[in-house]
Structure 1
Amino acid sequence: MPTTVHHRACHLCEAICGLRIETDGERILSIKGDPDDPLSRGHICPKAVALQDIHNDPDRLRRPLARVRGAPGEADTWQDISWEQALNTTAQRLVDIVQRDGVDALGVYLGNPTVHNYGMMTHQKNLFRHFHTRNRFSATSVDQLPHHLTSLWLFGHKSLFPIPDIDRSEYFLMLGANPIASNGSIWTVPDVRKRIKALRKRGGKLVVVDPRLTETAELASEHLYIRPGSDALFLLALINTLFAEGRVAPRHLEAFVSGLPELEAALLDFTPEFAAPHCGIAADTIRRIAQEFAQAGAAICYGRMGVSTQRYGALCQWAIQVLNILTGNLDREGGSLFTLPAVDQVSNIGPGGFARHHSRVRQLPEFDRELPASTMAEEITTPGEGQVRALFVGAGNPVLSTPNGRQLDAALEQLEFMVCLDPYLNETTRHADIILPPTSPLEHDHYDLAFHINAVRNTARHNEAVFDKPEGSLHDWEIFAELGNRVAELLGQPVQPVLAPHDIIDMGLQMGPYSERAGSAQALTLAKLRAHPSGIDLGPLQPQLPDRLQTPDKAIHCATPAALADLQRLRAEFTAGDSGALRLIGRRHVRSNNSWMHNYHRLVKGRERCTLLMHPQDMAQRGINDGDRVQLSSRAGSVTVPAETCSGVMPGVVSLPHGYGHNRVGIRLQTAAQHAGASCNDVTDDLALDALSGNAAVNGVEVEVALA
């Protein structure tokens, strides 16, 4: 049989690199970067090569599983069941519980892989249109919620993200981000190493602000250490300096930007001198950075996980965008620009909302009809009206990926019914009554709905499945459709017709900005994308304001009331001083992505990566040597991990990677269990939140470290 070359996007991180996959029948012979992809230009990272491991993984479930509960003192077992039984039972149990206890008795959690699979995004409504529960949760509130909230406040839409135009920039100020390891986040930027090198080669400057000398910081023109959780002070001091020195110049934005006098007055006391002792960056250095940023021909300020997942995440992201606005670097080539995707979700979906209702137990605000994931356990365990009694988990492992994972682990056993749409028996799904496994990623087609919104260049690409769908299997979208149909029948409602995801994309393309209907010469359709499997280049990002704004008056109101009110909390905390405790931060590796990349040999081979990085000074004070096993403890719990000497992490800071902890009883993850590591979320605190947004504060948690 002749070999076949398939074009494909790698879905394992936000970079969506184009691939060429060569197969011989059912065998994968090679996976290489596609040099004709206009976005990734032939680049791939080690994750892409592991796509074959995912497809061939013997631990990946191929049939639905039902849990058979053991007698007291005996372990539970699992048995294969038919799709008919699995879908019918799931629909019936969900309907029964909701009809008995109300719709809020159903909880829903959707994990990070949801946005990497467009069928999950297009078809979940087929099920959840029947259940308008307030108890919805997702990975958003342990990740990028502050980005969404800032975009809603300033630009009028939750998904209107300013994207760093690194390829044309002169000055890049980066906080709490490590794109060399992550390939970009809320910033689809494949081959970022070459882009950084090109920035510096043309005389540009990259300044990285981070508590650790990261892989990205090693490539920077300058690296500034900063104490975890103090980034908001640093950013506000930059803005204060702009006002104090008369360097505010919105330029082309001035006609539709308001609130600058109120902003200046609110930030009068957030001087570099106030920020310096708390963030560890000298006042003169803060002033210099502000001056360099304002004077640069085209500059970018961008921050990611380190500034989002902390106590002032929303304030940080708001300040970052205000800094870009005040210097005229928003909507400017070489600054930050908005994308114009071929299927434009900014035009196709609602803008989102905030604090329209609150959680039952802690009164935490919703965002986009989702509650903070940190409140999920208490909503399950606290009796009363609205208590979660049934839980649907889609493509998520919150036991490892949300704060105080052990608390959630225990709470899940109290549920009356739990169903998981997931290909693995993992730390979360082991609590399920039924697991519904979808097809392999290479067995369905692919279009990136999410990450074209964040891309450093406008492109579009659709790829067919590499392998045929196996007999007796269902795609993610088909599982949602089948469940939705069954629920409709049980409720006596009409069964709605279901379009395949690619048909929805075709409609989106033909209604989008590059369609014949819009007068575009591209005249994009699905057929045209299929004829260009490496993708179609739609050009560099372009200025689009004020037309692209989704605010009612097409204006940007910088004096956001909620953000200005939060300044009081920031001022009070740092006026009181620091406790002097060690602070925990996370870290990312290029071969990993959260908890779902550890069961593949190609991605976990080599030296142990789940170690606690500590500065030699902190180790010496505690009598700890390199390689010693230490106990890392917080209010929420403790774990035991090997310590690793690292002079690149600042004193007073320790770093543990995210997504490990594959040592729970009853999982079927052979490779991951051999590299189990420790879950940092057994130490992060469900009570530690950004009070403004409700996002989890998993960076900057106060911890203690001692010899185990």
Structure 2
Amino acid sequence: MTVVDPATRPEAAPAADAGTRTAFRTCPLCEAGCGLEVTVARDDEGTERVTRIRGDRDDVFSHGFICPKGSTLRQLHEDPDRLRRPLVKRDGAFVEVGWDEAFAEVDRLLTGVVAEHGREALGVYVGNPNAHNISALVYLKPLLKALGTRNVFSASTVDQRPKEISSALMFGTGLSVPVPDIDRTDHLLLLGANPLESNGSLATAPDWPGRLAAIRERGGRVVVVDPRRTRTAERADEWVAIRPGTDALLLAAMATTLLEEGLADPGAAGPHLADLDRLADLLAPFTAEAVAPATGVAADDVRRLARDLAAAPTAAVYGRIGTTTAEFGTVASWLVDVLAVLTGNLDRPGGSMFTRAAAGSATTRGTPGVGRGIRLGRHTSRVRGLPETMGELPAACLAEEIDTPGEGRIRAMVTVAGNPVLSTPHSARLDAALEGLDAMVAVDIYVNETTRHADVVLPAPSALEKPHYDLALLQLAIRNVANWSDPVLARDPDQPDEWEVLARLALVAQGVGPDADPAVVDDLVVDSLLAGAVGDEHGPVAGRDPAELKAMLGDERGPARIVDLMLRTGPYGDAFGARPDGLSLEALRAAPHGVDLGALEPRLPEVLRTPSGKVELAPEPIVADLPRLEAALDADPDALRLVGRRDLRSNNSWMHNVEVLVKGKERCTLHVHPDDAARLGLADGATARVRSRVGEVEAPVQVTDAVRPGVVSLPHGWGHAHPDVRLGVAQRHAGVNSNVLTDDTVVDVPSGTAVLNGIPVEVAPA
């Protein structure tokens, strides 16, 4: 492994001015994991303030790359709207209180609801920022267990859940996601992905712009399939303007072409595959000619795309949110990996490969090559009967579980770093439903469109006041790396660490009371992880004494101790002294620019955790959904469809309160193709009314040929006009909430994921 010496640069050495210092940390704002160099100045009173943030040129992964969001951590920290003290609602208005008073109120509220209605009257929503947050990733589990309810919802079912399910069914775990080896591939096919704006997702990598450019510079080819000519498509070799929601049909036809023309060759993965011989029959209805009317991609182009993929020396297929938040998200996610198999690019350098993460991965624990796999639908939602996946119910049914009367109705909600009023379907219904709750508790740094309904808001520290380790995202990295970040700034004197907030909330939920010591939860987490590590007969500390290992971890509380444990028992770890040169938290702290653990390497079959020990190419839940896909061949190709989009300067809804990220030209506009604008009587700059089955919004029109005819586009995460939110900058740039239009009754069947792309709409001048 490669470690960069922190003394190799002038900026890393002690500053000449004793009043300034330099800190290094990983940006927590998206999945890219860019390294930051943070300059901190101290005034005469000893108060520290960040004066500059730029890319860390010595970071082993990002090499100085930074997007516009990363430099705004100071603005987020200093935002006057960011909460510094807990809020409790008194007579309909929020008032600041101390932490003890806040937790006493939480205890009163939750205990009352549970006493009267039972634990199934509780609901939980976990937002997207938790995936970038080491405290949440570790301490949410005991909180959910303490709440004791099956009504658990998260941003996963408005994002990546179809890919998690297809990966778990095929390879054994939800994070067994083959990532595109973009640094070594000769041919990259991207579907529904715009990494030049979103920095990639489920394929953690800084500097996607540079990495995609490098493919072309070395003679490779980049092809983008998307209803929009995105920034990524503009820099690609080819843009394929597909109709929204039909990616699964295109992928199925490409697979059929490979099978029909004798181009399928799984290569070295062949001995590890189950049901390869079933694919031809399963995909037979999806010929290039059959899918062309529905997809809008000519049959000859479908076949050419397949042949190009097979002919490339190495090739990778990458599908992202445009494919997962669609009507056939799970099938499309499966077919992405089927194409990797058929072209011999699964588990191959330059193809689709599996990360070997330094900490926390289920694919580096237990018996190599075999496991329990996944069970879906262990319970269902009360109202509609939508199935559970990975311990969660679909967010598409959250509103109805609150506002539909009857036994088991959700009467109290706990939200953690989430804004479902803006990010989940049929937003107006959910907004109204939250108003009718008996109690609501939120862990959040803002009073936003969702937390305005809360009775108690518990703020977490700012990103600069928290430690950071990408426990989840480094399991999806295109290169094996590890970076630890200590807090850059000290917390306010009365601000508890985030893990303490979540642990104390868990103790309240468990019924222990508002004054219990959060260290109890911390020890329980450590003891549980140690028991698993010493009980793993294939692990590096099998059979060791847990008490001895716990003593070796030291007395440091919170995520640092837990990450140390995970690192030391992971695939590169020091195994508590058995491998002296291995990783530990101490080793990462000595390497502030990170540790490079090398390029991805083939991992079949040891990476598998399926019961059969094979890659399952025909999982029953996916096979059962293929008739529904076949019926989509007859869908109306002329219907006007709405798709979402992202902007490089915004990350969901909570980044809209930073002036530097939202200033300038209006970004929350309705993109309309010139042909559609002429047909519908829409003028550039005028206002249009957009109506779906469940709602309508008005937005300014932007006429552009960057969308294909028959497609209109609104960005995701806007709609900050409500007077009760405390987001001054966002309110001045309010925009409209596209999820007012999202139909909560339309979901991807295997996953229950909401369909946010390809929504049928009517558009007219306002």
Q: TM-score range by the shorter chain?
A: over 0.9
How big is the shift at 1:238?
0.5
Equivalence for 1:19: 36
Equivalence for 1:317: 333
How big is the shift at 1:91?
2.4
Equivalence for 1:680: 738
Equivalence for 2:243: 227
Question: Cα distance 1:405–1:359, how it changes in 2: closer, same or farther (>3 A)?
Answer: same
Instruction: Please list the CA deviations of residues 452-510 of structure 1 after superposition, one character each: whole Å capped at 9, or x if unmatched.
Output: 01111111111111111111112221111122334445489997352411100000011
Q: SS at 1:44's partner residue?
A: coil
Q: SS at 1:598's partner residue?
A: coil
Does the aligned pair in 1 maintain the 2:100–2:515 contact within 8 Å? no
TM-score scaled by structure 2? 0.90
Equivalence for 2:652: 594
TM-score scaled by structure 1? 0.97
Instruction: Please list the CA deviations of residues 131-156 of structure 1 after superposition, one character each: whole Å capped at 9, or x if unmatched.
Output: 22110000000000011001110000
Instruction: Please list the CA deviations of residues 356-380 of structure 1 after superposition, one character each: whole Å capped at 9, or x if unmatched.
Output: 1110101101111100001000000
Question: Cα distance 1:78–1:351, how it changes in 2: closer, same or farther (>3 A)?
Answer: farther
- Residues 1:109 and 2:109 are matched in the alignment: no
- Residues 1:59 and 2:81 are matched in the alignment: yes
Does the aligned pair in 2 maintain the 1:180–1:215 contact within 8 Å? yes
- Residues 1:630 and 2:688 are matched in the alignment: yes
Q: SS at 2:95's partner residue?
A: strand
Matches within 5 A, 1:101-180: 101-180=117-196
- Residues 1:329 and 2:345 are matched in the alignment: yes
Instruction: Please list the CA deviations of residues 282-329 of structure 1 after superposition, one character each: whole Å capped at 9, or x if unmatched.
Output: 111111111111121110011001111010001100111111112111
- Residues 1:3 and 2:20 are matched in the alignment: yes
Does the aligned pair in 2 maintain the 1:180–1:192 contact within 8 Å? yes
> Quick check: 89-98 or 225-234, which moved more?
89-98
Q: SS at 1:316's partner residue?
A: helix
Instruction: Please list the CA deviations of residues 29-60 of structure 1 after superposition, one character each: whole Å capped at 9, or x if unmatched.
Output: 11011111111111000001111110000000
Does the aligned pair in 2 maintain the 1:174–1:303 contact within 8 Å? yes
Instruction: Please list the CA deviations of residues 638-668 of structure 1 after superposition, one character each: whole Å capped at 9, or x if unmatched.
Output: 1110000111100000010000000012011
Does the aligned pair in 2 maintain the 1:92–1:487 contact within 8 Å? no
Q: SS at 1:706's partner residue?
A: strand
> Quick check: 474-483 or 633-642, which moved more?
474-483
- Residues 1:237 and 2:253 are matched in the alignment: yes
Equivalence for 2:231: 215
How big is the shift at 1:125?
2.8
- Residues 1:554 and 2:613 are matched in the alignment: yes
Instruction: Please list the CA deviations of residues 260-301 of structure 1 after superposition, one character each: whole Å capped at 9, or x if unmatched.
Output: 222211111210000111101111111111111112111001
Alpha-carbon separation, structure 2, partners of 1:415 and 1:285? 53
Alpha-carbon separation, structure 2, partners of 1:234 and 1:39? 34
- Residues 1:569 and 2:628 are matched in the alignment: yes
1:450 pairs, out of 472, 483, 487, with 472
- Residues 1:270 and 2:286 are matched in the alignment: yes
Equivalence for 1:583: 641
Equivalence for 1:34: 56
Question: Cα distance 1:22–1:173, how it changes in 2: closer, same or farther (>3 A)?
Answer: same
How big is the shift at 1:527?
0.6
Equivalence for 1:535: 594
How big is the shift at 1:681?
0.5
How big is the shift at 1:93?
2.0
Instruction: Please list the CA deviations of residues 89-127 of structure 1 after superposition, one character each: whole Å capped at 9, or x if unmatched.
Output: 212321331232121100000000111111011112333
1:297 pairs, out of 279, 292, 313, with 313
Instruction: Please list the CA deviations of residues 50-101 of structure 1 after superposition, one character each: whole Å capped at 9, or x if unmatched.
Output: 11110000000111101123xxxxxx32111110011122123213312321
> Quick check: 258-267 or 194-203, which moved more?
258-267
- Residues 1:693 and 2:751 are matched in the alignment: yes
> Quick check: 382-391 or 566-575, which moved more?
566-575
Instruction: Please list the CA deviations of residues 219-265 of structure 1 after superposition, one character each: whole Å capped at 9, or x if unmatched.
Output: 11111100001111100000101110111111111111021222211
How big is the shift at 1:345?
2.5
Question: Cα distance 1:143–1:481, how it changes in 2: closer, same or farther (>3 A)?
Answer: same
Task: Give, as a single letter, the amino acid of the residue that structure 1 aligns with 2:357.
Answer: P
Q: SS at 2:183's partner residue?
A: helix
Alpha-carbon separation, structure 1, partners of 2:509 and 2:222? 54
Question: Cα distance 1:138–1:620, how it changes in 2: closer, same or farther (>3 A)?
Answer: same
Alpha-carbon separation, structure 2, partners of 1:353 and 1:504? 28
Does the aligned pair in 2 maintain the 1:353–1:369 contact within 8 Å? no
- Residues 1:412 and 2:434 are matched in the alignment: yes
Equivalence for 2:9: none
Runs (5+) with no aligned partner, structure 2:
1-17, 43-47, 367-371, 523-556
Alpha-carbon separation, structure 1, partners of 2:672 and 2:216? 30
Task: Give, as a single letter, the amino acid of the residue that structure 2 aligns with 1:452.
Answer: L
Alpha-carbon separation, structure 2, partners of 1:89 and 1:348? 41
Does the aligned pair in 2 maintain the 1:442–1:467 contact within 8 Å? yes
Q: SS at 1:174's partner residue?
A: strand
2:211 pairs, out of 170, 191, 195, with 195
How big is the shift at 1:385?
1.8
> Quick check: 21-30 or 488-497, which moved more?
488-497
Equivalence for 2:525: none
Alpha-carbon separation, structure 1, partners of 2:594 and 2:93? 46
Alpha-carbon separation, structure 1, partners of 2:580 and 2:613? 28
Alpha-carbon separation, structure 2, partners of 1:84 and 1:290? 62
Does the aligned pair in 1 maintain the 2:107–2:514 contact within 8 Å? no
Q: SS at 2:231's partner residue?
A: coil
Alpha-carbon separation, structure 1, partners of 2:291 and 2:586? 56
Equivalence for 1:279: 295
Task: Give, as a single letter, the amino acid of the residue that structure 1 aligns with 2:141.
Answer: K
Alpha-carbon separation, structure 1, partners of 2:507 and 2:354? 38
Matches within 5 A, 1:406-555: 406-488=428-510, 490=512, 496-498=520-522, 499-517=557-575, 522-555=581-614
Does the aligned pair in 1 maintain the 2:504–2:514 contact within 8 Å? no
Task: Give, as a single letter, the amino acid of the residue that structure 2 aligns with 1:3.
Answer: T
Instruction: Please list the CA deviations of residues 342-400 of structure 1 after superposition, one character each: whole Å capped at 9, or x if unmatched.
Output: 10322469965421111010110111110000100000011222110000000000000
Equivalence for 1:648: 706
Matches within 5 A, 1:340-355: 340-346=356-362, 347=364, 353-355=375-377
- Residues 1:358 and 2:380 are matched in the alignment: yes
Does the aligned pair in 2 maintain the 1:158–1:351 contact within 8 Å? no
Task: Give, as a single letter, the amino acid of the residue that structure 2 aligns with 1:474.
Answer: P
Does the aligned pair in 2 maintain the 1:380–1:415 contact within 8 Å? yes
Q: Percent identity?
A: 47
Question: Cα distance 1:560–1:694, how it changes in 2: closer, same or farther (>3 A)?
Answer: same
Equivalence for 1:73: none
Does the aligned pair in 2 maintain the 1:488–1:494 contact within 8 Å? no
Q: SS at 1:129's partner residue?
A: helix
Equivalence for 2:277: 261
How big is the shift at 1:522?
4.5
1:94 pairs, out of 90, 110, 117, with 110
Does the aligned pair in 1 maintain the 2:442–2:451 contact within 8 Å? yes
- Residues 1:68 and 2:90 are matched in the alignment: yes
> Quick check: 82-91 or 347-356, which moved more?
347-356
- Residues 1:706 and 2:764 are matched in the alignment: yes
Alpha-carbon separation, structure 1, partners of 2:107 and 2:357? 36
Instruction: Please list the CA deviations of residues 414-444 of structure 1 after superposition, one character each: whole Å capped at 9, or x if unmatched.
Output: 1000000001011000000010011111011
Question: Cα distance 1:84–1:348, how it changes in 2: closer, same or farther (>3 A)?
Answer: farther
Runs (5+) with no aligned partner, structure 1:
70-75
